[in-house]
Structure formats: structure tokens, C-alpha cells
Chains A and B, each alone.
Chain A
Amino acid sequence: MNRSKRLLLCAIALTLVLAACGSSSKSGSKSNSITLAVNPWEGSEANATVAKLILEKQGIATVNLKTIDENAAWPALDSDSIDGNLEVWPSGHAQDFKTFVDTKKSVVNVGLLGPIGHIGWYIPKFVADAHPEYTKWEGLKSAAAAKYFATAETGNKGQFILGDPSYVSFDAGIIKNLDLPFQVVNGGSEAALITSIGTAFKDKTPLLFYFYKPQWANNKYDLVSVKLPPVTPACTAAAASGDKSHKYACDYPTDHLTKVVSAKLEAKNAKAFNFLKKMNWTAEDQNAVVTYVHKDNLKMPAAAQKWVDDNPTVWKAWLS
């Protein structure tokens, strides 16, 4: 008796659960709502938040922002769970462009965002002032340079710190082919890298590292880039293959930040598709939003709102 009662209860509970499941459907299927990816860095959040504000204000779409890893965003675009990602650094995603944009055609490249990313080697300003020779790669060849940048981790070689491993890196090749007495230390994450930069500035200790613009830390710390040899066709070829064999020996190619959207977006919400296609702003614009966050202590939506209020001429062009 007791047992059968229990079974009955289980059955009822199960039915309830199933009913609850059956009734609701996946979010985002409403044609007026779209989802934009926010990759885990502030520039990406600034793009998406500004797009959200304008799209919603103009009544084009309600926008969900989804924080997601930049690589996880690709399968999500493919399956239409995310409608757009507004800041892709192409150098790190050659394979994804090949798979999803060229082969499968489930993701569409809708052109450039505007800012040009530059990855490179950087040193703090106070190091450049004290040792101007270290602003060129030839200056780093000496044993003195190795000793100057050496740490416990690297022993008698100079230390070169790398940040987030998902960002494109040819540093092992550059060091090997230019015959520099340096060793790469994997910082492992952007947070780890920027913390080290902060410590270097506080202690006035030398540091040579991988960095990039646009990035908010450029506003906080005075960084000087190290001149590497200009890009050659051989390097471009090596980069295209991912440079697993470490043949690369030049400066980094410039990254034209690119927007991609799901192939289904145009049918779902043509106005939003056109808006995202036309959206284009400068590195200064993006930086302004991020600076509001850091210098004026605003939250991102408020910072984005401030930029939208101040720069109507820029974004009105994205609507036409």
C-alpha cells in the first residue's frame, strides 16, 4: 500500500516536471530578441553594451548579453544560440573562420568593427627611458639584456611573459629565430599578466611582455612597444599555418577586429542584422567607454549610456 502510494507520488511528480518542461520553450526563439556575446574582456563588453542600448532604444530588438569564452562563442553562433559576436581578433581564429564561415557557412562575417588591434612586445616606460636600446629587438640580443630581464624562473636567460594562452602568440618562434637570450614564461591569464605589470611599475623592476592595444591597462600604465623586424611574406605564410614549427621571425600582423553574426540572423531580424553590419567605431570611442568605467567608477551600462548620449552622430550612422 505504502509502496504503491510512493510510486503514485513519483509518477505525479514526474508528470509535473515533464509538463513544466513541455510547456516552456527555448529562450531566444522570439524574433524580437537577440543575444550578443560578451567575451571576457572589457572592450568586448563595451561593444555589446552600446549595441544593446541603441538596438533597444530604437525598438529594433531586445538584447540579451551572454558572457562567454571567445572559443565557446563559435559553436554557439553555429547553433544560433548567440546571434552575434562584435569583436573577434582574426589572428587567433583562422581555423574557426575556415570551419564555420567558409565550410559550413553557419556564421557570417559582417565586416570590421573599426579598431585595429596591435599585438606586440612591450616594456614599461621607465625601462625604455633608462635603456633606450631595449626598445629595438637588436638591443635585446646582448647578454646584458638577458641579465637585466632575468628572474628566478628563467635563470641566466631573460624573462618574457605571455598572458592569456588563447591569444595568438609567435613569441617562441621570434625568440628562437632572432636568437634572443630569452625564455617564455606562460603567464596563463590576462589577469596574471596585468598583475605582474602592476608589480613591475610599483617596484620599478624590469619586465618584457606580450601585450596588445586596445586594452584598458594601456591607460593606466605607460607602456612602450619594442620594435621587431617588419612582417615578411615568409612570416605571413608561417602565421597562416599556426606556426607550430616556430618559423615566425617578425613583428605581429595588425589585427582588424571583425564582427561575425549567425547566418540565421538576417532572416530573423533584418534590421538588427543591418545595424550590426554597419556598426563601426574607433578605438578612441571604445576606449572612452572603458575609461568611464575605470576613471569615473561607472558600471558598464551607465558608461555606455554616457557615450551614447555624447556621440549621437557616430551611432546614428549605424541606423541608416
Chain B
Amino acid sequence: MTSLRTNRILIPAAAIAAAGVFLAVVWGDPIPSWWNFHIGSWVDHTELWFVLHRASNYWLFRWGFDPIARWLFDLVQWVLNFLHFVTWPGLLALVVVVTARVSGVRAACTAGIAVFVIGGLGLWEPAMITVALILVSVAIVLALAVPLGILSFRRPAFERRTRALLDAMQVTPAFCYLLPSVVLFDIGYPPAVIATVIFALPAAIRLTLHGLRGVPGGLVEVGTAHGATTRQSLWKIQLPVARPALLIGVNQTINLALGIVVIAALVGAEGLGKEVLSGLQSLDVGQAFDAGLAIVAVAIVLDRLTAGRPRRAARAFRRGRTLERARAELVAGVGAVVVAIVIGKLSSSGTFPSSINFSLHDPVNTVVAWCQDHLRNGVPVIGGTASISDFTVIDLLDPIRSFLTRWEWWEVVCGIAALAWATAGRRVAAICAIALLVVAALHADGSVSGSIWTDTMDTLSQVVLAVVAAMAIALPVGIVAGRSDRFFASIRPLLDAAQVMPAFVYLVPVIGLFNIGRIPGVIAAIVYALPPGIRLTALGIREVPPETIEAARSTGATKWQILLKVQLPLALRSIMLGLNQTILMVLSVVIIAGLVGGGALGSDVVYGLAKNELGLGVEAGVALVALAVVLDRITQGWATGVSGARGRRIAPRMSRVGKFNIPDQQLETV
């Protein structure tokens, strides 16, 4: 027994030590110049080729990209025309009626209010453009994701082979493929739709796959026994049973798509993103905030329209809603929409009345100005945000960064591989080592510190701090939320808003409060990454079976003992997944951090694209993907290890849905 355990430690240690010696002796320091994939220059050459051949008579554009672009443009324009045709009263009625049918009356009220808020903010026109873009993107994502999800379900080999690609699609900053898609698909709606599809597709595929995997084998078995063909069992059993997961897929696709709205404005897609950007240009936080609020409202409307409460609706239907009644409701609903459209057409050409206005422009600007005047300096005891900022940089960020950059590159590769081996096994160790060797092979010119490797370590130091801080907030809040339903219900809208509100909106005030540099980026990352941490912690706490707690209580455990000895250990798996999600979310904000002085990889991506040095941008993007792979695989390994130790029976069954690891139970309750 002991010898076996010794072997388990000795063999990996020996293997990694040998690899380290090999790397150090054969390759030495610094990273040898021949270890270079030349990704950057390859990308630059390809781009130039496309630019030079970009003319409508070249076959690739004439028969390939141009028709696609035209088709996408027409599709968006068509939806937009429809939205204009129904006018705002018509749309309000349509949203309320459909939501009431799908998700119940309460949801319909919320959605109706949200529609009204969009108009009241004076952003009706841009909001319609955004809605049209989102609807088209989501439709395309679903049209691709459902078949691909089914294919991955049926052919595990296909799923395995595409996994890395899906990871890359999700983590690669949208910035990286936005400008290239302008070269291929021209400006305006088409590149915006393409970028959204690339970004949102992986989550949708994974949710489809997850839903299909969740279908109990017995059900399919029964179908087969009754002579169902493969196709029949797919359409009649698997897809209907997987419906809740598919609906969550729609929902997540919408949320992800809304995340690209602001970036899409950079390529002329207009809409609410443009309002955010133009507010920032003149440092008008109020204007940007209004537009951000409208984006949140759009998210709420689409969420209520699609997510539904399918089970509750079905139950209500069973509970004595007769066919006649359903028919009457349908007629009433259609009637209401038609009447509303007619009213909209008759009155004032269908634009939202400007007399209804509850823009928060002025109050927001007042609050921001007050904060900058009073919180920056002169707060008793803590001194103010400026000194907090300095403390964090000097005493936290700098030491972590110098710790990470002090090691030679091969030491880091071996050290992280060893860590991965110890926590997650041989396979993960190999993956991590390969990912880091890829980073070592990136040598694009012009990066912030002169080397992509050093920038990667700099980014890693910021990621570490942001993750620790986010978890330090998410854990207590999540624990409270897990124990109190009312508290959880009250913070849910905030969590939603934190994810959908574009980070740009709160970054300008943050720069005003803290000093320019790495801190604003870290703060943006914390805000964005909090929701999954809080949600998954709360979920883990809630899922501890009441009998277990009762048993602990009957043996005389105090409240604290129950929390520390029962609830937290049992929730550990869920919390570890929360950690994993937090890390991925933080990584996806690195680019935005680059826009407010975060430096490192974020700056490289922004700079590379801004200067049309695509090679640098793409190499930094690759480094970011590699970093994500390393951190994701190691924390995933921890999570699995924890569940192995604690017993699978109690821990919730989890499925990997890209950024959104969703426990099965949640699928049923969301």
C-alpha cells in the first residue's frame, strides 16, 4: 500500500524533473528563438491576401462571403422592418401576450414594464436594432447548435474532437475575430452577427448535448421496445424531454449575444452599443448608463419571452384549463395584439411618445460626480479609494507578479504540470504542459513587456487577485443566499444586471475613483465574475438534504457547526465549480481590462487590433486561450477530485456547458 502511494508520487515527480532538465539543458534560457510557431506573421499574411483579393469579382467573395453577408443583412433588416411595422404599442401587446402564454402573468408584467422602460429611456430606435441583431443571431445559433448537439450526442468521438475548438471559440476575445470578419463580410450587421454566433455557439451546443444526455435511458428503451425508429425516438422522446435544457440554451445564447452588443458597435452595427460608446467618448456616464439599462431591459424581455416556466405553465394547463378556455385566450391575445397595432398605426406614426421620459441621465451624473469628490480622498480610517488602489498595486499585485515572473519559463511549465498532476492527474498535466509550451512559442513583436510569455504571467497575476477577491465576496454572499430564499430572490436581479450591463458603463466612474492602471480592470473582472460564484455557492448550500441537517441538529450541533461541518463540506463540489466559472469569467474580462490600463495580454489584443497588427492580437488571444485551458482543467480536476472523495451520491450531477456548468437540478428549477 505504502509503496503504491510512494510510486504515485515518485513517478510523476521523476517524469516532471526529467522534462524540466531536458527543457533547461536542451532549450535553455530565454525561450529559444527557433521555438516559434510564427502564428502572428502567418495571420498577417493571410489577412493581407484577403484584403488584396477582396473584390466582388473574385470567386471566393462573389460566391462565398458576399452572398452570406447580403443574406445576413437582409435577415436583420427584415426583422427590423417587422418590429417597425408592429409599432411600439403592438410590440408591447405582443410581448405581454406571448409571455403570459409562455411564462405566466407575473412574467408578462415584468416583460411589459421592461418594454416600457426601453421606450421611457428614449432609446426605442437603437433598442430595436439591437433586438433584431440578437434575434437573428440567436436563430442562427440554434439552427446550428441543435443539429451539432445531436451529432455530438450520437458520436462521442465527434464531441471529443470538437471540445478544444469549442473552448477556443468561447475564450478567444471577440475583438480578435471582429476586424477579420469585417474584411470578409463587410461592415454593419453581418460581422456583428458572425461574431455573436462564434461567441454564443459553444454554450448552445453544450446545453443541447447536456439536455440529451440527461434523458433517462429507460425512456428511450421503452420507445425502442414499442418499435420507434431512431428518428422517432429523437423527435418524440429525446428532444421533448430535453426541452428545459434547450430553453436554457436559448437563454444563455441571448445573454452571451448581448455581451457583444457594445463591441459590435465598433464595426458599424449601431444599436444600443453605439449609445454606450458615444456616451463614453464624451465621458457622459449618464448616457452610457441609460443605454446599459436599456440593454438590461432587453435582456429581461427576451429572458421572460424564452425561458418561460415550462413546468408551471404545463401544470396550470393540466389543472383544468379546458380547450375552450385556451381557445378563447388565444383569440383574446391575438385580438389584443391586432388592436394595439392598429392603435400604434393610427397614432403618431408609431414612435414612442417623448413625453414619457424617465432617463436616469442627470441623477447618475450627479452621483458619479459626488463619489469622485468625496470618496477618492479624505474618508476617515481607510483614507479613500485612491489609497486603496495604491495599496492593492504595491502590496498585492506587484508581489504576485514578481513571484510569477521570477521563475524561468521552463520552471513555470514544470511547476504547473506538477501541480496539475498532483491535483488532477496525468492527462491534465500533459494538457497544461502543452498549453504553456504553446505560449512559449509565441513571439509576436510589439507586446507590452516585449514578450508574450511575460505578459501572460502578468495577466495571470491579475487573474489570481481578481479570482481570490471575487470568491472572498461570493462565498459569504452565496452562503447567506443559500440559507435564505428571500435574500436570494432579492439579489437575483442584481446578479443578472451585473452580467448583462456592459462593463464599459461602470468602468469610467471606476477609473475616476481608483487610479488608472491594473485596478479598474481587476474591479470590472470581479463585478462580472461574481454572479456564477454566488449562484453556485448558494446552490450547493441549498442542495444539502434537509434530513442530513436534521440529523446534525439532533446530535446537538450548533448553527455554526452545521454550516462548517455539514453544509460547506457537502456544498464543496458546487463551490469548486463556482471557482472554475469565476476563473473563466475573469479571463473573459481581460480584454476589457486592457481598455482601462490593465496592460499585459489585454493591451496586446487591443493594441494589435487597433493598430491593424492582427498577428500580435491573435497571438495574445492564443495565449489567453492557453491560460484558460490550464486554469480550467486544473480547477475542473479539483472539482472532480472533491466529489470523488465526498461520494457521488450527494454531490449534484454536473454537466459541462462551456462557461455555464449547470447542475442538473438547476435545469429543472431555473
Contacts and interface: CB of A to CB of B under 8 A. Distances in A.
A99 B48 contact: yes
Nearest to A67: B274
A248 to B, nearest CB: 14
B596 A192 contact: yes
B376 to A, nearest CB: 7
A21 B609 CA distance: 33
A79 B74 CA distance: 18
A198 interface: yes
B222 interface: no
Given A72-B268, A165-B611, 12 more contacts: A21-B74, A42-B282, A66-B187, A67-B268, A152-B515, A165-B606, A186-B603, A187-B516, A191-B511, A192-B596, A198-B283, A202-B373
Given A20-B78, A21-B78, A103-B52, A199 B187 contact: no
Which 9 A/B pairs are nearest by Cβ-Cβ distance? A166-B610, A152-B390, A152-B393, A153-B517, A165-B607, A68-B268, A21-B74, A188-B595, A69-B266
A153 B268 contact: no
A21 B611 CA distance: 36
Contacts of B393: 152-153
Contacts of B394: 152, 155
Interface of A: 17, 20-21, 24, 26-27, 40-42, 66-69, 71-72, 75-76, 78-79, 81-82, 92, 95-96, 99-100, 103-104, 106, 151-153, 155, 161, 164-166, 185-196, 198-199, 202-203, 216, 244, 293-294
B376 A199 contact: yes
Contact of B283 (A151, A188, A191): A191
B281 A190 contact: yes
Contacts of B607: 165-166, 186
B274 A195 contact: no
A76 B268 contact: yes
A284 B576 CA distance: 60
B266 A72 contact: yes
A72 B265 CA distance: 11
A81 B281 contact: no
B517 A79 contact: no
A6 B188 CA distance: 34
15 contacts: A21-B75, A24-B77, A66-B188, A67-B270, A67-B274, A69-B179, A71-B610, A103-B52, A152-B389, A152-B393, A152-B517, A185-B516, A195-B512, A196-B511, A199-B512
Given A191-B281, A196-B511, A20 B516 contact: no
B390 to A, nearest CB: 4
Contact of A71 (B75, B377, B609): B609
Contacts of A185: 516-517, 597, 599
B596 A188 contact: yes
A187 B595 CA distance: 7
A109 B411 CA distance: 53
B47 to A, nearest CB: 10
B241 interface: no
Given A66-B268, A166-B611, A188-B595, A294 B75 contact: no
Contact of B73 (A26, A72, A100, A103): A26
Contacts of A294: 282
Given A152-B515, A198-B283, A186 B54 contact: no
Which secondary structure dominates where chain A touches chain B? mixed
B594 interface: yes
A21 B71 contact: yes
B416 interface: no
A72 B179 contact: yes
Given A24-B77, A71-B612, A151-B517, A76 B187 contact: yes
A17 B136 CA distance: 12
B267 interface: yes
B187 A95 contact: no
B77 A153 contact: no
Given A164-B610, A165-B610, A202-B373, A78 B596 contact: no
Contacts of A192: 507-508, 511, 516, 520, 595-597
Interface string B176-187: 001100110011
B74 A82 contact: no
A68 B511 contact: no
Contacts of A189: 280, 595-596
Given A24-B78, A152-B390, A202 B267 contact: no
B78 A81 contact: no
Interface in B357-403: 372-373, 376-377, 386, 389-391, 393-394, 398
Interface in B46-86: 48, 51-52, 54-56, 70-71, 73-75, 77-78
A287 B278 CA distance: 18
A85 to B, nearest CB: 12
B304 interface: no
B445 interface: yes
B448 interface: yes
Contacts of B598: 188
Interface in B500-522: 507-508, 511-512, 515-518, 520
A99 B47 CA distance: 12
Nearest to A192: B596
A188 B182 contact: no
Contacts of A161: 516, 597
B446 interface: yes
B460 interface: no
Most buried by A among B56, B277, B594, B610: B610
Contacts of A203: 376-377, 386
A186 B183 contact: no
